[in-house]
Structure 1
Amino acid sequence: MIHYLLKSISYIFHPLIMPLLGVIFYFSKTPRFIPDPVIKAKLFSITILTLILPILLYFLLKTIKQVESLHLKSTKERLIPLFLNTVIIGLILKRVLPYHELPELYYFYLGILFSTLACLFLAVFKIKASIHMIASAGFFMFALALSIHFKININGTIALMCIIIGAIATSRLHLKAHTNVELILGFFVGLVPQLILLNYWL
């Protein structure tokens, strides 16, 4: 029972979901007036680009035997998906979330881009960093920064995110997908770019 629970956590909080959750969280907390059609258009575009398109690309890569599983267990498997994800994030920054429209989200995705590039760089040198931890740590830092930026109380969300990050780390260790070092490395690869970019929008 515990095994299936921990395994499900890896799927429920998959890295592909976190960038979209960051956008949803932003629109739910921002005090700025943003027309509903704009919100729906952004959410639709980001859902297609960060969720649907990567899944389709995964099945394509699996068909041509470039990847074996959705969790990209080896560093070799990671190279093409991470490169493609870099291109997708760049497209989002250029077309969907330009700086002059939504600067907070622009820098959130810029941080995701830097984290993805760092993960790709590490994979080239056969070093694994937990992509689950990268994504969850990036979202956590962004949510924390938004609470300061907009002066809102999200203590409940922060507490929940701490529990979720702990659950994700436990899940990855239980499934023997990562070592402690890889989890810690992933956490900082996700957190640090978001932290550095706070200087430009917070």
Structure 2
Amino acid sequence: MPIAGVIFYFAKSPRFIQFDVIKGKLIAIFILTVLLPILLFFLLKTLNKVNSIKLETTRERIYPLLLNGVITLMVLKRILSPSQDIELYFFFLGILISTMACLILAIFKFKASLHMMGISGLCMFFIALSIHFSININGTLAVMFILLGALATSRIHVKAHTYIELIIGIFIGLLPQLILVNHWL
């Protein structure tokens, strides 16, 4: 979800940003938010901290969420600057807050839906960008809401979550993005 938000931001931003800067940030964020988590998952699996990619128990979620928080902090500190990329900076700050909220819930043995957290946060970021840049992305938003519903339905169908876990996941993803909009919109 983070890389989708970054790609969407650079595609829709009316600001002039040099292509080399965009390419550098995309590559760095892709490495940190896609490749590094995959490698860390295999490390955690080797160390017997997780059993499968599904992270079925709350105990299994603690290390991946903690590592994801550290990775997000690295993106915030090393790649994004609040003076140059204010929208992306607060998008990733919202991701960090959502991740820490899920980590706290996992410590207290509650399994919020990470899938719903991710897609609802991304959807809220798209809505905020639409308002901020005064652009019409109704088609994109319609697709996002269809994906949100399809993802929730699939999580219920495979019995990965209960309704309350899905709803909590949606709010954990959506609320930090909504609250942080006040700082950049």
Match of 2:140 in 1: 157
Partner secondary structure for residue 54 of structure 2: coil
Q: Where does residue 67 of structure 1 map in the other structure? A: 50
Once the 2 structures are TM-superposed, how far is the Cα of residue 63 of structure 1 from its aligned partner?
1.1
Q: Give the TM-score, by structure 1 length.
A: 0.91
What does 1:36-55 correspond to in 2, within 5 Å? 36-55=19-38
How far 1:71 sits from its partner (Å)? 2.1
Structure 1 CA distance, aligned partners of 2:156 and 2:77?
37
User: What CA RMSD, in Å, does the superposition of the two structures yield over aligned residues?
Assistant: 0.5
Deviations 1:68-104 (A, max 9, x none): 1112111000000100110000010000012111000
Summarize the alignment of residues 182-193 of structure 1 with structure 2, pairs less than 5 Å apart. Answer: 182-193=165-176
2:171 counterpart letter in structure 1: F
| Alignment partners' CA distance in 1, 2:183 and 2:175 | 14
Partner of 1:105: 88
Q: Deviations over 1:153-183 (max 9, x none)?
A: 0000000000000111111111111000000
Number of aligned positions between the proteins: 185
> Structure 1 CA distance, aligned partners of 2:42 and 2:14?
39
Q: Which structure has the higher relative contact order (CA within 8 Å, separation 6+)?
A: 1
Q: In 1, Cα distance between the equivalents of 2:171 and 2:108?
A: 18
Measured in 2, the distance between the counterparts of 1:123 and 1:20 equals 25
Who is 1:56 aligned against?
39
- Code of the residue aligned with 2:95 in structure 1: it is I
Q: CA deviation at 1:139?
A: 0.2
141, 147, 154: which one pairs with 2:124?
A: 141
Structure 2 gaps, min length 5: none
Amino acid at match of 1:109: F
- 2:145 maps to amino acid: C
**What is the aligned-residue identity percentage?**
62
Alignment-mate amino acid for residue 198 of structure 1: V
Determine whether 1:86 maps to 2:72.
no
